[in-house]
Structure 1
């Protein structure tokens, strides 16, 4: 109860999904919350994921859990998962795949019953083992702070209790539990730490577990302070729905490297709900992408994520859009006067309008897009071009970039490759494939954000100036 109060895990009337494996920790947790239910007016739900890995042993775990649910008169959610198949499909270890499957199942159960919390049975010895695992693999303060008492909807009421204390509680209340045989399999690093490394450390210092727990608790508190500072100084990333995250590079470069790493971890965890598969090495690789010399680059991260830098903008996305086989074939007629909506992505488009003006403008060329800082949409905004319609060799249409495209820009000698124009304007590579190119007949008239072609410039005797407007919606 002390840990629940200290870390503000529960409020009166809370709905709580209790992850129940049948092991000693989860059985003790379920019983403790059952005893607290009248005092805190809790709505309890038990949840068990059958991993499909341990044959009859797993079936006996399930039978025990069903018996406990019936005895405690609590609702029980059960799901069977193909963890081995998930590991194969996602190229994960069995341990990682199991964690991912459990997370999805428990979160789905919480959502379906409308509960606020998910309670898990991790205890102080689990936190110490996790600390040592991360220390051996290499981690910063966030990884070395062990298992957090509260993370999002997840709470760990036993996090300050030791394994011997939990076993004593079970015996005092005559509660049955199941032992997972894999917990003694020394092929797993956690088991080697539990059964080999920690006994060796205790031979050197009998109080080493208390020392390690105090250390990871101090690191956790410092890490919480860093999280708070990173959020205050750098602010949140822009969430792009389910697609990913986006943030300006300039904001990050002004912060110390350590604060950037804390911030990356915090934003990823907030968006995905967990950090499964991520290590300090991945955060350092992300920071190298942000701070490195390459203006356009991409790296792969755990969980099918990709981090992408496009000049001064950084994105974290779930998948790279598959290139369309007809990417360069789209062409739409632009009525004069008239308006066309041009697709830029699944969620964004641009409006391109053509209209005649009664008076000639002050300028006879497009206002070039500023190739400065910020994302393309904020840099482009709204741009326009003035043309002499009598010089156009045919109907006006809009198409996508094609290899070999060139333009004769107004005010410059010779021709330029559109590929070079896009690079000058810092248009991201994925947008170049869909960027509108205004043509008349077979000639390029204008590329929004750049100059018009020289031969279509307005002359003083033009009686019906044509204005083209590009507006990114």
Structure 2
């Protein structure tokens, strides 16, 4: 649906140019990919960049993601943006996805899933087509809504700081302007745009905050309330770099990867930091599991810190329905779990096999000249291939399992091995066991110990290399 507004004239361009230059959001000659939905904000952003291009050399491109939520209306918006780009000679990139299906599958809100899809698409286009920056049309009202949204959710200082004008490769050149100013500019310049009627749907959290919280505040206290909230966000943002620097140093000291990819947090050191730094460290841990970015709620921080301070060994909590956090001795262990763990997985030589909890496995012939066992990664092993009985399988621990650990001559119950190695109860059913002879003989307790029966000897003629790796 096309739209227009009736406001007095207001040319944002000089302020836009000043904002971009003062913050050094872009440099001459850069390739900028603009995220354009077809709404008034993004169409104004595009118009401003087209004007800026007349004053400085820039290469522009437009990315549009169709979320598949509004049927033919969404298709119409996509065609509108494509036609506008064709008219102005701008490269146009588009994609679409079933956001609703994935939101249900991932147990996330439609808004959150749409954002993840949209950002992922824009980054793929940027890197695949040599753009340097992604420009988005967020403005001051969006910033105020973001701050209010995070306040209501109980977020900490990072949430209150809102969106940054520049965050990695993403820039937000309209954060200086209010919604009313943008709409007035669109009207004065006769910029066409689309109206997304779902923006009126108060069932969505953002829309509710806009219509039922921010707009009544503006009606009661005036338009200046948006600027006031944005100033609070800016003040909070100034403190964050200090916390980030401290958290980066703390992360290196207190966090390490465990044998099967779990993230271990050393509580003896972690608990010495201020609470605000502890939460920043937890943010970094969560980022290891959700690279697209996801923030913890205040109640989730509290649950983890309560477990750290007061929990008993073996107790756990769950974050975002996926990250399992266990108290184990003087550590907290973080593991991502996606559904039920499989009982058994076939291994194909030379092909990576996805296991569970972000692990993958590869078995392949080794053709190197020599092996430096003193420098060997614990998640890599080498076997005498002639002593391996194919096919190979990966499975989990079963009651009564035994194997002959490297350096021993007699079988040992796997449970006794776990106890001797001080392997926590939460890890035991999650450790991959490499087996041959139809899953009966254990060749490797992955990450811990191989079997003595397949060790390399002087007379070994062929070697099998096995690897365990981790991914997010």
Shorter chain as denominator, the TM-score bin is: 0.5 to 0.7
Partner of 1:76: 92
- Higher alpha-carbon Rg: 1
Aligned pairs (5 A) from 1:5-154: 5-154=21-170
In structure 2, C-alpha distance between the alignment counterparts of 1:7 and 1:283, rounded to whole Å: 33
In structure 1, C-alpha distance between the alignment counterparts of 2:110 and 2:62, rounded to whole Å: 24
In structure 1, C-alpha distance between the alignment counterparts of 2:50 and 2:399, rounded to whole Å: 68
In structure 2, C-alpha distance between the alignment counterparts of 1:100 and 1:110, rounded to whole Å: 15
Equivalent residues of 1:120, 1:154 under 8 A apart: yes
Equivalent residues of 2:116, 2:292 under 8 A apart: no
Cα gap change, 1:396 to 1:126, in 2 (>3 Å) = closer
Cα gap change, 1:429 to 1:297, in 2 (>3 Å) = farther
- Deviation of 1:257 after TM superposition, in Å, equals 2.5
In structure 1, C-alpha distance between the alignment counterparts of 2:161 and 2:184, rounded to whole Å: 27
Equivalent residues of 2:30, 2:58 under 8 A apart: yes
Equivalent residues of 1:145, 1:217 under 8 A apart: yes
Equivalent residues of 1:306, 1:319 under 8 A apart: no
Q: CA RMSD in A?
A: 4.6
Partner of 2:293: 275
**How many residues align structurally?**
389
- Deviation of 1:212 after TM superposition, in Å, equals 1.3
Q: Does 1:211 align with 2:211?
A: no
Aligned pairs (5 A) from 1:166-315: 166-206=182-222, 207-235=224-252, 246-250=263-267, 251-269=269-287, 272-276=290-294, 278-291=296-309, 293-296=311-314, 299-302=317-320, 304-307=322-325, 311=329, 312=331, 314-315=333-334
Choose from 333, 336, 341 the match for 1:322: 341
Aligned with 1:235: secondary structure? helix
In structure 1, C-alpha distance between the alignment counterparts of 2:362 and 2:317, rounded to whole Å: 24
In structure 1, C-alpha distance between the alignment counterparts of 2:200 and 2:25, rounded to whole Å: 32
In structure 2, C-alpha distance between the alignment counterparts of 1:181 and 1:199, rounded to whole Å: 18
Aligned with 2:433: secondary structure? coil
Q: Name stretches of at least 5 consecutive residues in structure 2 with no aligned partner.
A: 1-16, 348-354, 364-376, 382-386, 404-410, 436-440, 442-446, 450-465, 468-472
- Deviation of 1:191 after TM superposition, in Å, equals 2.5
In structure 1, C-alpha distance between the alignment counterparts of 2:417 and 2:262, rounded to whole Å: 28
Equivalent residues of 1:422, 1:432 under 8 A apart: no
Choose from 160, 172, 179 the match for 1:163: 179
In structure 1, C-alpha distance between the alignment counterparts of 2:278 and 2:22, rounded to whole Å: 29
In structure 2, C-alpha distance between the alignment counterparts of 1:173 and 1:13, rounded to whole Å: 26
In structure 2, C-alpha distance between the alignment counterparts of 1:53 and 1:449, rounded to whole Å: 48
